[in-house]
Amino acid sequence: MAPLIIYGATGYTGKMASEHAKSLGLDFIIAGRTEQKLKSLASLLDVGYSVFDVDQGGLIDSVLKDASVLLNCAGPFMRTTRAFIDACIRNKVHYLDIAAEIQSYQQAQKFEEHAKNANVMLLPGCGGSVAMLGCLASHVVEQVKNPLEIDIALHVAGPMSRGSAISAAENMTSECLQLVNGTLVAQDASNTAEFDFDDGRGHVTCFPITLPDLLTIQRSANVSNIRTYIHASGDSFPTGNFDSLPEGPTVAQREAAPYHAAVTVISEDGVARRAALHTINGYTFTSVASVHAAKRVLDDEAKPGFQTPAGLFGKDFIHTISETEIKGL
Ligand SMILES: NC(=O)c1ccc[n+]([C@@H]2O[C@H](COP(=O)([O-])OP(=O)(O)OC[C@H]3O[C@@H](n4cnc5c(N)ncnc54)[C@H](OP(=O)(O)O)[C@@H]3O)[C@@H](O)[C@H]2O)c1
């Protein structure tokens, strides 16, 4: 049995992550719930595969028992995280995922002590937006004396994948949140804010949204007042029937749509410091960064309990992804 299992490997992002893992020569198998799709991807990549659903505890245990790391790419994560966190703790396997949903992180928080007792790491958001925003926030927080508040925004460019649209739409039905004095409280969804992504457009309007970074940045940057925002340009956020959407952006669409982020950190005495992050498209980033994180965990860079990519690997984790730059404003 291989030390790494990539679950949800036949999805849009899971497939790119599996291809990247193969290109790095990692020892891994792919897994998921639909045998036909797994069989054809496994044969293409020349790796083993395993078929199980999240409610098949016995089967999951038999697959996880000899593994070290599970990279879960199967979203909506509100349906997969809990079962896999339980199974990873039972089998002493480190749990990694690419969730953009706060619930995955709340589960990691809830089961942190169990994970610590089992010497297991829970690292939701090991690649993707959580790694981008966490590293950006840490870079700026380090330059501010007594940081008090963080406002941070992600610029999503180009089309979203069908899976992301489904997960985001399910998430939006819940209340919009912010972090105040370390507690998640309601945020008025009409409280827009202006951010400059340093991409030549000047200040643009961003909408408040509940991102997992409310919890992860609190941990990695040790700041207890955080608001998270999103700016979707062009046709980023689809409407209507998601079933008719393509699986995700094409290579050309990804290359034409780099992602940006912007942050403002305010100190206790009211001084604001700003920076912007320019990087590659979020889907390319996620597939590369999540596998890079899995590789480092396989190489023993793990800490028991709930960890964040910026906290575990440091703020320069972002720079392991090519074409990534942080600009002070
Ligand atoms: N944080 C980030 O920056 C970031 C970046 C990219 C993606 N994501 C997130 O990653 C997730 C996947 O995105 P995607 O574009 O790859 O979606 P996708 O193409 O729809 O793939 C989803 C995969 O998950 C599997 N799956 C879904 N629900 C499942 C369940 N209940 N039990 C078992 N397997 C299940 C699907 O299996 P079947 O094929 O058998 O249905 C498929 O393999 C989304 O939640 C998205 O928001 C986050």
Percent of the chain scored above 90 by pLDDT?
90
Supply the DSSP symbol for 144.
S
The response to whether residue 13 sits with its C-beta less than 6 Å from ligand 1 reads yes
Mean local confidence (pLDDT), 317-329? 88
Give residue 116's pLDDT: 98
| pLDDT above 70 as % of the chain | 98
Average pLDDT, the chain: 95
Q: Which of 1-10, 235-244, 297-306 has the lowest mean pLDDT?
A: 235-244
Q: What span, in angstroms and rounded, lies between the C-alpha atoms of 28 and 308?
A: 23
Distance of CA 318 to the CA centre of its chain: 13
For the cut 70, the answer to whether the pLDDT of residue 137 exceeds it is: yes
Distance between Cα 98 and ligand 1 center (Å) = 9
Is residue 196 over pLDDT 90?
A: yes
> Does residue 152 carry a pLDDT above 80?
yes
For 68-115, what is each residue's pLDDT tens digit? Answer: 999 999 999 999 999 999 999 999 999 999 999 999 999 999 999 999
Residue 212 in contact with ligand 1 by CB distance below 6 A: no
Residue nearest to atom 3 of ligand 1 (CA): 128
99 CA distance to ligand 1 middle (Å): 9
Question: Residue whose CA is closest, atom 6 of ligand 1?
Answer: 283
Q: What pairing do the DSSP bridges indicate for beta strands 272-279 and 259-267? A: antiparallel
40 Cβ below 6 A of ligand 1 = no
pLDDT at 243: 82
pLDDT at position 171: 72
pLDDT at 135: 97
From ligand 1's centre to the CA of 192, what distance in Å?
29
Are the C-beta atoms of 321 and 279 separated by less than 8 Å? Answer: yes
Has residue 234 got a pLDDT over 80? no
CA of 12 from ligand 1 middle (Å) equals 7
Six token digits for residue 233: 């340009």
Ligand 1, residue 161: give the atom nearest the CA: 15
- Rg (the chain; Cα; Å): 19
What would the two tokens of residue 172 be? 């939006």
Q: Above 70 in pLDDT, residue 236?
A: no
Which of 70, 73, 123, 162 is the best mutation target for the ligand 1 pocket, counting ligand atoms within 8 Å of the beta carbon and taking the most?
Answer: 73
C-beta 54 within 6 A of ligand 1: yes
How far the first Cα of the chain sits from its last, in Å, is 49
- What does the pLDDT read at residue 173? 63
**Does ligand 1 lie within 6 Å of residue 174's CB atom?**
no
Query: Is residue 37 classed exposed, middle or buried when 0-12, 13-18 and 19+ CB atoms within 10 A define those classes?
Result: middle
Range 291-302 average pLDDT: 98
DSSP state of 237: S
Query: Using a 6 Å cutoff on CB, does residue 316 contact ligand 1?
Result: no
Does the structure show a pLDDT above 70 at 309?
A: yes
Give me the domains of the chain, ranges plus CATH numbers.
4-127+286-314 (3.40.50.720), 129-282+317-328 (3.30.360)
Confidence (pLDDT) at 280 = 97
Amino acid 300: pLDDT: 95
Those residues whose C-beta lies under 8 Å from the C-beta of residue 76, and which sit 6 or more positions away, are 101, 166, 167, 170
Residue nearest to atom 37 of ligand 1 (CA): 8
**How far, in Å, CA of 70 to CA of 90, rounded?**
13
pLDDT digit string, tens, across residues 9-30: 999 999 999 999 999 999 999 9
**How confident is the model over 157-188, as pLDDT tens digits?**
999 999 999 998 887 667 899 999 999 999 99
- Ligand 1 atom closest to 168 (CA): 47
Say what the pLDDT of residue 238 is.
Answer: 75
Residue (of 60, 58, 59) closest to 85 by Cα position? 60
Tell whether the torsion through CA atoms of 17, 22, 27 and 33 is positive or negative: positive
| pLDDT tens digits, one per residue of 243-280 | 888 999 999 999 999 999 999 999 999 999 999 999 99
CB 76 near ligand 1, within 6 Å: yes
194 pLDDT higher than 80: yes
Q: Is pLDDT at 329 greater than 70 in this prediction?
A: no
